[in-house]
Amino acid sequence: MQIVIRKMKWEDIPLKLKWINDEQNNQFLHYDLPLEQKKTEEWFEKIKDRTDRFDGIIEVDGEPVGLIGILGIKGKQGEYYITMGEPAYKGKGIATEATRQLLHYAFTKLGLDQVYLYTECENLPAQRLFEKSGFQKKGIEYGKVQNRGRNVDRFYYEISREEFEINGYFEL
């Protein structure tokens, strides 16, 4: 099984719509749902050449299976995100490998020193992925954001370049 990350392309917009609008995938996602074709196309045109973010597609043996990226790159840090879109590819270690590849890219090519993320406290599968990937839980926010009209609590995780190196993730 060959897992690679590539930059998102215009042709991937229908996949993003499909994956984000799927109720099995979007329970913990903070999007204005449902995503719409025209708005997503406009979004893509605005972000496709920006250097303060990286939006990628996870592929397995050439088949697109999910979204992954780094947002809000400022200084030497950025915010990680991932959504495994295709149910048949969940629970097979693909997200773990894609995360390792993205962090390697963030630290070696984007020159980041720290990558962070937020995840709802109820999102246990994501927390297992993040901790397995070397992220450290650093804190909690109580009710500062809303998801579908309700205030939610979120954990804050981060990983530094040094922690990534120490854990031996730089070998590709």
Is residue 132 helix, strand or coil? helix
68-93 pLDDT, tens digit per residue, is 999 999 999 999 999 999 999 999 99
| CATH code of residue 135 | 3.40.630.30
Between CA 111 and CA 131 the distance in angstroms is 22
pTM value is: 0.92
Is 146 contained in some domain?
Answer: yes
In a domain, 172, yes or no: no
What residues contact residue 101 under an 8 Å CB cut-off, 6+ apart? Answer: 3, 4, 5, 172
pLDDT tens string 101-119? 999 999 999 999 999 999 9
pLDDT in tens, 115-133: 999 999 999 999 999 999 9
In the predicted structure, residue 168 carries a pLDDT above the cut 80: no
- Lowest pLDDT segment from 30-34, 133-137, 159-163, 165-169: 30-34
**What total number of domains does the chain contain?**
1
Spatial CA neighbour of 14 closest among 34, 31, 46, 36: 36
Please give the residue that has the higher pLDDT: either 31 or 38: 38
In a domain, 171, yes or no: no
- Per-residue pLDDT at 171: 59
Q: Is 85:15 a contact under the CB 8 Å cutoff?
A: yes
Both tokens of residue 125?
Answer: 């599968």
pLDDT band at 172 (very low <50, low <70, confident <90, very high): very low
Domain enclosing residue 91, as ranges:
3-166
Residue 133 in any domain: the answer is yes
Residue 53: per-residue pLDDT: 97
